[in-house]
Amino acid sequence: MPDDALGLALPEMPKAVAASPYRVLARKYRPQNFAELIGQDTMVQTLGNAIKRGRLAHAFLMTGVRGVGKTSTARLIAKALNCIGPDGQGGPTIDPCGVCEPCRAIAEGRHIDVIEMDAASHTGVDDVREIIEAVRYAAVSARYKIYIIDEVHMLSKNAFNALLKTLEEPPAHVKFLFATTEVNKVPITVLSRCQRFDLKRIPAELLAEHFSEICKKEGVDAEAEALRLVAQAAEGSVRDGLSILDQAIAHADLAADDSGSEARVEAAQVRTMLGLSDRAAVRRLFGLLLEGEAQAVLDEARNQYQLGVEPAATLAGLLREVHLVTLSKIGSPSEAALPEEARAQIDEWAGRLSFPMLHRFWQLLLKGHDEVRQASLPLECCDMALLRVLHGAAMPDPGELARMLQQGPVPTAASNPTPAPQAPQSSPAMASSYPADFKSLVEALDQGGHPNVAATLHDVLRLVRYAPPRLEFQLGGAVYQGFAADLNDALFRLTGTRWELAETPGEAQPSLYEQEKAARAAQDSEILESPLVKAALAAFPEAEVHVDGRTIHSPHEAEVRSLRA
């Protein structure tokens, strides 16, 4: 009897849905051709030229940090060497078709003539002996029989020795492709038998662009700042970055499910996920350190900790900030991703802080960072490290301390409990104001350790207008290559200010050298025209007049000598 007749209406069972296993982004977007291999253009060009010219090595070694594409490159080389093209008539190419049977079989890991071996689990001489025995036989269906050995540095010493002879003179149909993250552990005898490619770390900007394209393909909206944070956390590794991006997308999906909105990867979520500090908060903390506000520094650090930022990450952020300020002080371009107000703040700090102070900041923060990473009480250790930085960075360096001891007693802690950062002291000639005139500026540069710049200014530069920090001038002769950059740097080191330099038309003063030359000529003329000297020269026509170790001559002396001749 049917269930409905008995009044038992059973709920309709849902239809079974075929489960498709999820593939993580690092596997889903593994490069399938050399065009998709990002950041390794030099290696791709070298391989392409070797294939075109038929100059293929019998062994290749790919080395680099994790996740930059070593194994992927080995598989792409296997494709390139064995591709036969869509029509089955093609030869080795740097652009494998991806549709012929060898290309598809290699991509799917099922080609009988492309053998992959993990040296971490096959370390012994017996594993290598199997390879040595097998290389004698020709490839079954491919152009080349290819052995891909990952993490080759894990092979034992005996295994390497067993491989050497075969590696040096393999059969023509065999190619070896090695990959390793620790090339220093590979014997030099093996390295000398391989064509080596050092795969580079991928720049953060290129990684962020790559992740942006993947998000578009995945239908995920992501903030540019969020992708930049993921790229920085990846430290040059594509695989690590894709794993972090996978996690960030999952985190965004959960947030979207809770709020009912579409999935969006946001910078704040990525910071929370990675335990990173907001850079604005780091700059705020750095500013408090410079102001000497001990309690405010500790409060800000604890606020960051309560938001989920690890103490080590806080100190790492301060180290990055010191690095940016130091780069700004030497005139390096600012990070393109920095907002305008952040650049202005960093430039302002660069003008206030001297190089010795920045170096002390760096050393103290670096020591604190290492201590926090190993501490059983990281928050408390971070507090103590920040207090040490606050009181230690403004202490005088040994040279300054010696000068202070010579000139008078050192102020006690009671009279100045939290020393404020001093003005830049990178040059002995630096003062609280600009040099009074152009000549004083040249002298200060010479005394401050910039003799080449000072000499060029003295001999060649003709002053139009001296209005610090602006200098208008004309050049009365050639200057050495790089003079403009050296002058910019020297003026900044001397005064702590970026000068505006302009080569302008108009009336210009003679150079200091020309002025000194004219003054000497006038002095010489006055001496020669004095009655006593004239009488002496008349009495002794062959006599010479010496002043300050140099011989002076009458402007008409050459004419007189020619008449005598």
Which has the closest alpha carbon to 526: 548, 549, 555? 555
3-state secondary structure (DSSP) of residue 391 = helix
Q: Whole-number mean pLDDT of the chain?
A: 81
**DSSP-assigned states of every residue in 337-386:** TS-HHHHHHHHHHHHHS-HHHHHHHHHHHHHHHHHHHH-SSHHHHHHHHH
Q: Confidence class of residue 175 from pLDDT cuts 50, 70 and 90?
A: very high
Query: What does DSSP say about strands 264-265 and 221-222: parallel, antiparallel, or unpaired?
Result: parallel
Residue 430 burial (CB count, 10 A): 16
Q: Residue 353's pLDDT is what?
A: 84
Which has the closest alpha carbon to 141: 95, 87, 92, 101? 101
Q: What is the pLDDT of residues 108-151, one digit of tens each?
A: 889 999 999 988 888 888 888 888 988 988 888 889 999 999 99
Q: What is the pLDDT of residues 186-211, one digit of tens each?
A: 999 999 999 999 988 888 889 999 99
| Burial of 152 (C-beta count, 10 Å sphere; 0-12/13-18/19+) | buried
How far is the CA of 23 from the CAs of 47, 105, 257, 361, 531, in angstroms? 30, 19, 21, 46, 105
Q: Is-contact 70 64, C-beta < 8 A?
A: yes
Lowest-confidence region among 320-334, 529-543, 544-558? 544-558
Q: Which residues contact 11 (CB under 8 A, 6 or more apart)?
A: none
Lowest-confidence region among 25-29, 221-225, 534-538? 534-538
Task: Tell me how far apart the alpha carbons of residues 242 and 455 are, in angstroms, rounded to a whole number.
Answer: 56
Give the domains, in start order, of the chain with CATH numbers. Answer: 25-198 (3.40.50.300), 204-274 (1.10.8.60), 279-407 (1.20.272.10), 438-509 (no CATH), 514-564 (no CATH)
How far is the CA of 459 from the CAs of 150, 453, 455, 511, 514, in angstroms? 64, 10, 6, 6, 7
Q: Confidence class of residue 550 from pLDDT cuts 50, 70 and 90?
A: low
How far is the CA of 271 from the CAs of 148, 266, 276, in angstroms? 38, 9, 5
Q: Is-contact 74 60, C-beta < 8 A?
A: yes
Q: Confidence class of residue 562 from pLDDT cuts 50, 70 and 90?
A: very low
Q: Is 98 left (phi over 0), alpha (psi -120 to 50) or beta?
A: left
In the predicted structure, residue 224 carries a pLDDT above the cut 90: no
Q: Indicate the helix (H) or strand (E) that contains 198.
A: strand 195-198
Task: Tell me how far apart the alpha carbons of residues 263 and 251 are, in angstroms, rounded to a whole number.
Answer: 9
Q: What angle do CA 458, 462, 467 make, to 5 degrees?
A: 95
Task: Tell me how far apart the alpha carbons of residues 302 and 311 are, in angstroms, rounded to a whole number.
Answer: 9
Q: Residue 429's pLDDT is what?
A: 38
Residue located via tokens 């960072």: 369
What mean pLDDT do residues 521-534 have?
A: 76
In the predicted structure, residue 78 carries a pLDDT above the cut 80: yes
3-state secondary structure (DSSP) of residue 238 = helix
Q: Confidence class of residue 565 from pLDDT cuts 50, 70 and 90?
A: very low
Q: What is the pLDDT of residues 273-313, one digit of tens each?
A: 876 666 778 888 998 888 888 898 999 889 888 877 889 98
Residue 90 burial (CB count, 10 A): 14
Q: Confidence class of residue 322 from pLDDT cuts 50, 70 and 90?
A: very high
**DSSP-assigned states of every residue in 299-326:** HHHHHHHHTT--HHHHHHHHHHHHHHHH
The verdict on whether omega for the bond into residue 11 sits within 30 degrees of 0, i.e. cis, is no
Q: Residue 148's pLDDT is what?
A: 93
Q: Indicate the helix (H) or strand (E) that contains 526.
A: helix 512-528
Task: Tell me how far apart the alpha carbons of residues 273 and 276 are, in angstroms, rounded to a whole number.
Answer: 8
Task: Tell me how far apart the alpha carbons of residues 272 and 511 are, in angstroms, rounded to a whole number.
Answer: 61
- Return the DSSP state at 8: -
Task: Tell me how far apart the alpha carbons of residues 268 and 241 are, in angstroms, rounded to a whole number.
Answer: 17
Task: Tell me how far apart the alpha carbons of residues 189 and 198 are, in angstroms, rounded to a whole number.
Answer: 18
Q: Residue 257's pLDDT is what?
A: 58
Residue located via tokens 């998000």: 215
Q: How many residues does the chain have?
A: 565
Lowest-confidence region among 433-437, 450-454, 529-533, 541-545? 541-545
pTM of the model: 0.56
Q: Residue 419's pLDDT is what?
A: 43
Which has the closest alpha carbon to 381: 312, 457, 320, 334? 312
Phi/psi at 145 (nearest 5 deg)?
Answer: -90, 125
